[in-house]
Amino acid sequence: MERVIEEIYRAQSRRVLATLIRLLGDFDRAEEALHDAFAAAARTWPRDGVPANTFAWLVSAGRFRAIDHIRKRTRFDASLRDIEESLYPQTDEMEIGDMDTIHDDMLRLIFICCHPVLTGEAQIAMALREVCGLTTEEIAHAFLVPAPTVAQRIVRAKSKIRAAGIPYEVPSRGELPDRLDRVLHVIYLVFNEGYSASSGEQIVRTDLVMEAIRLARLVADLLPHPDISGLLALMLLQDSRRLARRGIDGELVLLADQDRGKWDLQKIAEGQQLLGTAMTHEEISVYTLQAAIAAEHARARTPEETDWRRIASYYELLVSAQPSPIAELNRAVAVAMIDGPAEGLRLIDAILEGGELGSYHLAHSARADLLRRLGKDDEAIAAYQTALSFCRQVPEQAFLRKRLSELSTTKG
């Protein structure tokens, strides 16, 4: 039963939280209610069984626990009476059972996390914490800042939202264009955390991947835009490879080694159609460029058929449009496939000298792979060990240890 509850927490906790924020009107109160709901589940489900509608059960449990807390406090604080009364809708099932409303709660949560009253750094920290459920430590590790700094950003953001009385709603159609860039960025971050989890025992967090795709579709319905088409195309094309990225025992399978028969052709077709639409516009977004790269991989029936020159050219455009050491790293890998590992290694060493990717494990593992291909086993081992020291995802750690073992055996 403990395992079942953990799986339900992973799959549903963010949506439960989003609905509780709507019902309770406060982030901190909703987070406390979320934890109370799962604590109640841990106590009662082993005895009574898992309810048919776990989502509604958890929302109801969390909401009524919040009411109990407020009732106890109203004896000492009369100002809470209005809050207590507001938590009693005329029909209990209306707010929890309306599935259209529930489906919109995650979108509301993203829009409130992306409100202009918050700084860009606070918006990202809030979104990763509230939408993805990452801890402050995980967010700090991803952005190479101290955990207390992230915690302060989140606390200040919640205070600003509370002080400004920001409504928990999707903005009007007229306000959407000004908010679109940040919302798409957050959906992109949600997808990335799902597509390649930053830590834990799973390569993919399917719940986050599917939620990001669903949210992008909702935004597309609200405001059709080429940037949304590009982002949705990117997510579908990458997600099409999900089943092939894991081996029988859950191990990481690299792109070149994947069984392409497991790729989802329907998602590839939809992604390519959306990409075609996005590419017809004058301004090509960074999401569309990344989708174009993913489409090149999707077109190749074998690894040898991959058009690495075109991929490298797309990365050059991406670096020009939005300079990023990670985009430069990916370009270096593409160049290595064209001009050989020595040239790729030269580029990666220059990127690492810049310092921004010093603790990014994928930069060190890419460098290690090129060293391995050049026959520089001692240097490759050192680079793999460095990558392993920064890696926090269990399947990736296992892959790096396997590479180290193979190199050690060869040397021996």
Dist. CA 408–CA 202, nearest whole Å: 27
Burial 286-316, CB ≥16 within 10 A → b, else e = bbbbbbbbbbbbbeeeeeeebebeebbebbb
Q: Fill in the DSSP letter of residue 246.
A: B
Residue in the block written with tokens 């190479």? 144
> What is the predicted pLDDT for the residue at 84?
47
Which of 221, 263, 215 is CA-nearest to residue 238? 263
Dist. CA 293–CA 310, nearest whole Å: 8
Cβ within 8 Å of residue 20, ≥6 positions away: 30, 33, 34, 59, 62, 63, 66
> What is the predicted pLDDT for the residue at 127?
84
Token duo for residue 122: 């606070």
> What is the predicted pLDDT for the residue at 300?
95
Name the packing angle between helices 99-113 and 206-222 (round to 10°): 90
Dist. CA 128–CA 14, nearest whole Å: 11
Q: What are the φ/ψ torsions at residue 307 (nearest 5 degrees)? A: -85, 85
Half-sphere exposure of 147 (CA within 13 A, CB side): 6
Dist. CA 105–CA 102, nearest whole Å: 5
> What is the predicted pLDDT for the residue at 351?
96
Residues of the chain predicted below pLDDT 50: 80, 83-103
Cβ within 8 Å of residue 296, ≥6 positions away: 306, 307, 310, 311, 314
Burial 51-78, CB ≥16 within 10 A → b, else e = eeebbbbbbbbbbbbbbebbeeebeeee
Query: For the whole prediction, is pTM greater than 0.75?
Result: yes
What residue type is assigned to position 390 of the chain? F
How many other C-beta atoms can be found within 10 angstroms of the C-beta atom of residue 163? 9
Dist. CA 84–CA 63, nearest whole Å: 11
Contact between 169 and 101 (Cβ < 8 Å): no
Q: What is the DSSP string of 276-336?
A: HHHHTSSSPPHHHHHHHHHHHHHH-SSGGG--HHHHHHHHHHHHHHS--HHHHHHHHHHHH
Dist. CA 106–CA 215, nearest whole Å: 8
How many other C-beta atoms can be found within 10 angstroms of the C-beta atom of residue 99? 10
Contact between 220 and 229 (Cβ < 8 Å): yes
pLDDT in tens, 321-350: 999 999 999 999 999 999 999 999 999 999
Dihedral of the alpha carbons of 44, 50, 53, 56, in degrees to the nearest 10 = 20
Token duo for residue 84: 């207590």
Q: What is the DSSP string of 184-228?
A: HHHHHHHHHHHHT-SSBS-S--HHHHHHHHHHHHHHHHHS--HHH
